Structure 1
């Protein structure tokens, strides 16, 4: 899959704090850009949500890499001058396959956002903190709703949430918050995440969508319920062209270019 010369989607120009580009076909790179540390004020937070709403309607996007365009931080969290203005109960989970490449400071709201994604990678220079406790809040936009299902040690989660202390990449890896630590800083982790995303974008969009939904559904349901859901969803997948085309391409020992997941198929994929 060749680079696409950083083409930009048609809806990219409406955003002030979010840069959108296609470094590879079907791979959208989303970069946060509110220097010096990407602190979220109300405008930035709403723009972030709007950007992902638009991305969710774009059938050409198969994988999203989320990173920061500033050297110092992924995000320092909430801009305290706008603390009370941010929506407190907005669900920031998204249906697109999302891989953040995190470096530098990642405090507070940055962790809320990371809890809602799929594959989390960090640069070795990252500094995480569930910082809300130090401004008189419990993290209420995702961290404490999602992290108990993500990390492998609730005692550790209580510790870092109660204290607000800073922890690094290796500790995050140890407890399952990230799955990979990339040596270096911003450029290295972004490069690694984009290469990973390019590989995933080559695979069947129906299959990738199924993997994401099966895992998410299984977290909140019994094994029997998960199997029933998967059978229902799988009936849709069997109607798609991807399986038959994959088998035919394998026999011919040829590579296959899958069609994008269409709007109708996306609706069915929400079963």
Structure 2
């Protein structure tokens, strides 16, 4: 397994555990984070043995968001020409967006396990995941507003589809803290757990359950859900018919039906 500066990556069975590994810095998202996450999720996509990803943060906190040193470095590169500054900043923002797009575009389900703080850029990150779970005392905040800027790496684009437009606006305009319990109430997380240990046990049990399903069926389900974010119902149904015209010929259907008839656990190929 590749060694990373900002992450710890392990493959257990069919589940890849991707942990932000800067606990001494509250898992702040530094330069290495933004480049390595693209490589990691490329590996996830290309590795058939990986069927599900659990994304977590080592230590007390999931992540305190973008590393302020990274912002300071970007500011230090600005000169006197407004046009060139704008071009440089736009390129930087698009590159950061691409890093989290790698999570959103991943063919495998990505489950976020959140404890402690999940602030700023970390909310952008979990918004790109399929599902989110947290401890009851976790703290979420779209903190960019208190830094005099608008969140620019995906929160404002993805979160309305998760918690609704009105609630997203409230959190984005105020930057207030949301506890794990409130996060569950508004749909930001699916479920809360009493502590970090229970959270990880619960999330890995869920990941193992998903990993036992047909990987082709999971792939098709995720693709259809993603497609429907930006298309009409009629478009989605047409795409679904075309997709399943091929996928319904998979051996996975025979395996699943035989297992159902015999009341045994199916064993699907990668």
Q: TM-score when scaled to structure 2?
A: 0.86
The 5-angstrom pairing of residues 25-44 of structure 1 reads 25-36=13-24, 37-44=26-33
The RMSD of aligned alpha carbons is: 1.5
Structure 1 moving runs of 4+ over 3 Å: 84-87
- Alignment check: 8 A CA contact 2:5 2:32 kept: no
Is 2:176 the counterpart of 1:165?
yes
Which has a greater percent of helix? 2
Task: Indicate the residue corresponding to 2:207 in structure 1.
Answer: 197
- Cα separation, 1, equivalents of 2:176 and 2:16: 33
The partner residue of 2:127 within 115, 118, 128 is: 115
Quote the offset at 1:253 in angstroms: 3.1
- Cα separation, 1, equivalents of 2:142 and 2:69: 18
Measured against aligned partners, the alpha-carbon deviations of 1:239-262 in whole angstroms (never above 9, x if no partner) come to 2110012222333333221001xx
- Cα separation, 2, equivalents of 1:255 and 1:58: 23
- Cα separation, 1, equivalents of 2:16 and 2:163: 27
Q: Greater shift after overlay, 115-124 or 50-59? A: 50-59
Measured against aligned partners, the alpha-carbon deviations of 1:22-77 in whole angstroms (never above 9, x if no partner) come to 23x1111111111220001112221122211221111110000111111x210000
- Cα separation, 2, equivalents of 1:245 and 1:166: 47
When the two structures are aligned, how many residues end up with a matched partner?
A: 245
Q: TM-score when scaled to structure 1?
A: 0.86
- Cα separation, 1, equivalents of 2:256 and 2:174: 51
Task: Indicate the residue corresponding to 2:234 in structure 1.
Answer: 224
Measured against aligned partners, the alpha-carbon deviations of 1:215-271 in whole angstroms (never above 9, x if no partner) come to 1112221111110011011112112110012222333333221001xxxxxxxxxxx
Task: Indicate the residue corresponding to 2:11 in structure 1.
Answer: 22
State the SS of the aligned residue for 2:140.
strand
- Cα separation, 2, equivalents of 1:43 and 1:247: 45
Q: Structure 2: any 5+ residue segments left out of the alignment?
A: 75-88
Q: Structure 1: any 5+ residue segments left out of the alignment?
A: 1-11, 261-271
Task: Indicate the residue corresponding to 1:7 in structure 2.
Answer: none
Quote the offset at 1:17 in angstroms: 1.8
Task: Indicate the residue corresponding to 2:109 in structure 1.
Answer: 97
